[in-house]
Structure 1
Amino acid sequence: MSTEHTETVPTTPTRAGVIGVGAMGENHARVYSELPNVDLVGVSDHDTDVATEVADEYGTEAVDLEELLDRCDVVTVAVPTHVHYDLVTTCLEEDVHVLVEKPIAETVEQGRRMAELADERDLVLQVGHIERFNPAVRTVGELIDDLDVISLEAERLGPPIDRDAPGNVIFDLMVHDVDIVGSMLEDTPDALTAMGTEDGRYATATMEYDDVVATLTASRVTQKKVRKLSVTARECFVEVDYLEQSVLIHRDSYPEYVNDEGQKRYRHESVVERPRIDNGEPLRHELESFVESVRTGTEPEVTAEDGIEALEAVQTIDGIVADDEQHAHGQELRPNERDRGEQEHDQEVEAE
């Protein structure tokens, strides 16, 4: 798809729909209903009662998939990952632009076929890596090109959201930070190591990018919700809080001993900058960007290729964690095409 504006932006409302209205999909329906020059024309879900309830809440209709695609210009696909491929392919074949929640698909090959189909039909296929649209992340993204980065460290931690629900923090949570780190460094990792628990509720990975090291931790067993990123650069140290949408930049840090009434006292001082951030809901920014790409015929901010690269990395991390013999050893990055039919789509709104 061209990255240049090739057509006049339409003045008629963009017709939007949502497929899958669980916790995440319902939020997509809410935001579409609030966006200017966008009409939420319907929602669809295998649970018709849930679909009707969400439709009533946001002033639209619950319809079957075929009718929804007849009505829509764009749709969000917010369903379990194992049905992404079939549903997204169906939408694209009906010439409907798609935002599909992360991860893009169950396998890298499925993701590539989806991307090829979207390209063949000149349609937007955007992947729902919502943290790209967090105002704090965007602020750091503007800074990082001017920094000599040494390392990045991401923590995405919290308590269980449902003790009985299946899931894997590598695919549900860590995938966000894999994508953020890759987008900031504009690169894919050369090698990585990883460790985690057998139940899939805690994992840590170290990713190597030439002369930069990124350490990522994801947890559903931590009794505090944490969403943080830190950047160590030769010029400064940057702290990002995703939840607070805040950024702190520490510069000119120095230690010294001072004389305090005859006593030697140690102190450490630094200059702390707090950049101004235009706070806002990341999901709203994400959907505004998606609709704008559709209207202008431009490449989406998070492309299918971005989603495929993130999926390759988390599959490799998961493969290392699953293999006891590899826990203590590095492994060259390679796609792991293991079938993950048991994987469930994360229903948590990560940026809230």
Structure 2
Amino acid sequence: MTDQPPLRIGVIGAGSMGENHARVYSELRTVDLVGVADRNREVARRVAAEYGTDAVEFETLLDRCDAVTVAVPTHAHADVVSRCLEADLDVLVEKPIAGTVEEGRALAELARERDRVLQVGHIERFNPAVGMLEELVDDLEIIGVEAERLGPPINRDAPGNVVFDLMIHDVDVVGAVLDREPTSISAIGAADGRYATATMEYDDVVATLTASRVTQKKVRKLTVTARECLVEVDYLEQSVLIYRDSYPEYLTDDGQNRYRHESVVERPRIGTGEPLRHELESFVEAVRTGSEPEVTAEDGVRALETVQAIDSRLDRRRQREVNAR
């Protein structure tokens, strides 16, 4: 492995996410960042100069690379990713995998036909706290899951669908943790689509997910209720707390009876690090070995199917509200 030449990787799409991919690739010793392409040539030149590579045209980049990150707007995923796969490149595409489930399935099939790696950029899978949760769940009888992904946008006028942009992260994590698809879905929204809550049943497990762009505090948490314990995951802190053996206790203080609950709280030691770096290292390893990526195209399609179902229920509810006016 150590005597292999660096993997030649390019970045297509030099927006904020693409720039971060370029940054991390430039830091990896096993990668040669061979170029950045973007429809905005000035943006491509700026990012390329920052990370010591070239700003090149799309077709030129395809000829230089072994693999690429695709970080273009979602509506362009199907076209750009398919052209990369047809050029026999391995691809990491930012989430969601495509604009529609049909497009996502077509990309997954094309990757299989071309025998190429197609990894989907569901970055929370590479959060060390989620890794610890995945180690724990095999020993748990899970009853319910709650997720909160809240906060104001960096640009308060930023467009985008809160379900596809934010909730999809937790949809993917919950699907991976439970290793199944939901059997029923309901959803409700507010604040002109900037706040949404979805409730899903996974056989005997209930999951409630909330995403918001109007909450004046940034929150990224997931809580798993199991018969054995309660597990709290903080994505931002990259921490996990396990609450066990909660029991009531009555105390007497100056003749007054007080009631409290005591719990045994475990704080497992987990690794740290930037999830994006872990994600790109995993992609490089999959390309090097030809192995299945950590987040497959099929995983990406499953997450997209779920968020499309959630959004369709919100659309129906919004339409009913409009008709009732």
TM bucket by the smaller chain? over 0.9
Deviates more, 1:145-154 or 1:190-199: 190-199
Are the aligned partners of 2:126 and 2:279 in contact in 1 as well (CA < 8 Å)?
yes
Match for residue 4 of structure 2 among 11, 29, 32:
11
Describe the shift of the 1:146–1:327 C-alpha distance in structure 2 as closer, same or farther (beyond 3 A). farther
2:240 to 244, 247, 260: 247
2:173 is the counterpart of 1:174:
no
Q: Could you tell me which residue of structure 2 aligns to residue 341 of structure 1?
A: none
For structure 1, which segment, 300-309 or 10-19, has the greater mean C-alpha deviation from structure 2 after superposition?
Answer: 10-19
**Other-structure match for 2:114:** 121
Which residue identity is paired with 1:169? Answer: V
Normalising by structure 1, we get a TM-score of: 0.89
Which residue of 209, 227, 233 maps to 2:220? Answer: 227
SS of equivalent residue, structure 1 residue 28: helix
Give the counterpart of 1:302 among 295, 300, 309.
Answer: 295
Any idea what the Cα deviations from partners look like across 1:119-157, whole Å, max 9, x if unmatched? 111100000000000000110110011001100000000
**Structure 1 CA distance, aligned partners of 2:319 and 2:225?**
28
Query: Which position in structure 1 is the counterpart of 2:156?
Result: 163
Q: How far did residue 39 of structure 1 move?
A: 0.5
Alignment RMSD: 1.5
Report what 1:77 is aligned to: 70
Partner Cα separation in structure 1 for residue 50 and residue 319 of structure 2 = 49
Partners of 1:32 and 1:189 in 2: CA distance:
36
- TM-score (ref. length: structure 2): 0.96
Cα deviations by residue, 1:209-265 (Å, 9 ceiling, x for unpaired): 111000000000001110000010111111111000011001111111122232211
Contact 1:167/1:200 (<8 A) preserved = no
Residue among 94, 105, 114 paired with 1:101:
94
2:69 is equivalent to residue 65 of structure 1? no
Q: Does 1:33 align with 2:57?
A: no
User: Where in structure 2 are there 5+ consecutive unaligned residues?
Assistant: none
Is residue 320–residue 326 contact of structure 1 (8 Å, CA) maintained in 2?
Answer: no
Amino acid of the residue matched to residue 134 of structure 2? Answer: G
Gaps of 5+ in 1: 1-7, 329-352
Distance, in Å, in 2 between the alignment partners of 1:78 and 1:325 is 31
| Contact map agreement 1:321 1:327 (CA 8 A) in 2 | no
2:164–2:307: 8 Å Cα contact kept in structure 1? yes
Secondary structure of 1:269's aligned partner: strand
- Residue 36 of structure 2 corresponds to which residue in structure 1? 43
Choose between structure 1 and 2: higher helix proportion.
Answer: 2
Deviation at 1:9, TM superposition (A): 8.6
